[in-house]
């Protein structure tokens, strides 16, 4: 059996709509939330169980940048609340898609970014952007 090749994640590509926000992200990941479990026991004592589909979100730990010139991610999120936008996410070292370094694509709903933070520190925050459906794996170079 061939040895596995663990990934060292580097945020190379992170776009929302047509804008790049890799410059604002400290780290990011696509995270699942397990589907609901339904369970019933019938009169004969048999347990019947079903699990719903998971939901997905793009979690971004980011610097707070309300700059309107570039614009910063916080500015973009707070000016597009509720919008559905396409995303592209490639956390791999080269940013070039391949079978071992795919990008992930899909559509997500914009949520607002927090404002403010601790004094005398870089302002950072975490946002969770719900993905519509399932993210798609794309290994096409």
Identify any residues that bridge with 12 across adjacent strands, giving them in sequence order.
none
DSSP H or E run through 14: strand 13-16
pLDDT digits (tens, 9 = 90+) for 34-68: 988 888 999 999 999 888 889 999 999 999 988 88
Average pLDDT, the chain: 87
pLDDT: which is higher, 16 or 102 = 16
97 pLDDT above the threshold of 60: yes
Place of tokens 């980011």: 62
Report the Cα 101 to chain-centroid distance in Å. 16
Token couple for 80 = 């597009």
Q: Where are the domains of the chain?
A: 13-136
Residues 80 and 110: beta-carbon distance below 8 Å: yes
- E strands of 52-93, at which residues? 55-63, 84-90
Range 57-86 average pLDDT: 92
Instruction: Report the pLDDT value the prediction gives residue 5, as an integer from 0 to 100.
Output: 55
Architecture of domain 13-136: Beta Barrel (2.40)
Q: Which two tokens stand for residue 114?
A: 């927090």
Predicted pLDDT at 69: 85
The yes-or-no verdict on residue 4 having pLDDT over 60 is: no
Sign of torsion, CA 79 81 84 90?
Answer: positive
């Amino acid at each position: 059996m061939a040895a596995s090749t663990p990934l060292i994640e580097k945020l190379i590509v992170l776009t929302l709509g047509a804008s790049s926000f890799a410059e604002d992200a400290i780290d990011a990941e696509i995270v699942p939330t397990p589907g609901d479990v339904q369970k019933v026991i019938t009169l004969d004592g048999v347990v019947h169980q079903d699990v719903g589909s998971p939901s997905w979100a793009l979690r971004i730990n980011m610097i707070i940048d309300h700059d309107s010139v570039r614009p910063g991610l916080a500015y973009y999120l707070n000016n597009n609340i509720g919008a559905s936008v396409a995303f592209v996410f490639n956390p791999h070292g080269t940013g070039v898609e391949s079978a071992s370094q795919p990008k992930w694509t899909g559509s997500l709903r914009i949520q607002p970014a927090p404002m403010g933070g601790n004094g005398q520190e870089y302002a950072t925050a975490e946002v969770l952007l719900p993905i519509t459906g399932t993210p798609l794996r794309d290994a096409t170079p």
